[in-house]
Amino acid sequence: MTDLMPMVRAERQTLSEFLDTLTPEQWAAPTVCDRWNVQDLVAHLVAAGHVTAPHFFVGLVRHGFSFDRFVENDVRTFNTGTTSEVKARFDQTVNSTRKPPGPAYVALGEVMVHGEDIRNAVGVRGQYSPEYLVTLADMYKRAGAPLRAKQRLKGLRLQATDVDWSTGEGPEMSGPCMSLIQAMTGRRSALADCTGEGVKALKARS
């Protein structure tokens, strides 16, 4: 199996450099992730870069097996202090080999998809390696809970317009590969970048 950690570290470094360009107002910009702004989302990525299996499972028990409450607590923990302090914590994760327990794609998906959420919040689109996009798309298309990508894509064909990637059979939805990846995770805003008969079907499932 491909070692994804070099990709994860490269994407963390690229995101770190992007975060250095943000203004205080942009750090406070809302994102597509519920009530989280950009700084909250960076804190979430910090948590993902620090997590260990004992912390994860003990934390779930402590929060009544609620994944959402566990995640929110970690965000609060790593979001204390100033924006500069939160950014410094993120920089400390760049070369970390830690990742949330679960499938191999989790760490790569966290930094790429949430990295795009951050960029989109300030009106920017990321530039990603075709290899990284195809790798993540191939892994995400089979994902069950909590992403539910496999369920969303059932009976549809997705065709990337910027890299050599497609999957499935049925009504087609085409668009940039990152937009397709975002759509797999239920981000309805990503559907605005896509075309085809499959868009309506996927919108109903998001």
Q: How would CATH label the architecture of 130-205?
A: 2-Layer Sandwich (3.30)
Cβ partners under 8 Å of residue 57, min gap 6: 101
**Is residue 54 over pLDDT 60?**
no
Cβ-count burial 32-46 (b if 16+ within 10 Å, e if not): bbeebbbbbbbbbbb
Considering the entire predicted model, what is its pTM? 0.90
Cβ partners under 8 Å of residue 54, min gap 6: none
Of 72-76, 92-96, 145-149, 166-170, the range with the lowest mean pLDDT is: 72-76
Average pLDDT (75-102) is 88
What span, in angstroms and rounded, lies between the C-alpha atoms of 108 and 90? 15
Would you state the structure tokens that stand for residue 174, as one six-digit string? 């085409």
The superfamily in CATH containing domain 5-121 is dinb family like domain (1.20.120.450)
pLDDT in tens, 133-173: 999 999 999 998 888 999 999 999 999 999 999 999 999 99
CB neighbourhood size of 193 (10 A):
17
Q: Could you tell me what percent of the chain has a pLDDT over 70?
A: 89
**Is residue 58 over pLDDT 80?**
no
Task: Give the residue, 66 or 95, on which the prediction is more confident.
Answer: 95
The pLDDT assigned to 98 comes to 78
The pLDDT assigned to 73 comes to 66
Q: Residue type at 158? A: L
Beta-ladder partners of 173? 158
Three-state secondary structure string covering the chain: CCCCHHHHHHHHHHHHHHHCCCCHHHHCCECCCCCCEHHHHHHHHHHHHHCCHHHHHHHHHHCCCCHHHHHHHHHHHHCCCCHHHHHHHHHHHCCCCCCCCCCCCHHHHHHHHHHHHHHHHCCCCCCCCHHHHHHHHHHHCCCCCCCCHHHHHCCCEEEECCCCCEECCCCEEEECHHHHHHHHCCCHHHHHHCECCHHHHHHHHC
Instruction: Tokens 């539910």: give the residue.
Output: 148
The pLDDT assigned to 182 comes to 97
**Highest mean pLDDT of the ranges 46-50, 117-121, 147-151:** 117-121
Residues of the chain with CATH 1.20.120.450: 5-121
The pLDDT assigned to 15 comes to 98
Would you state the structure tokens that stand for residue 165, as one six-digit string? 């990637």
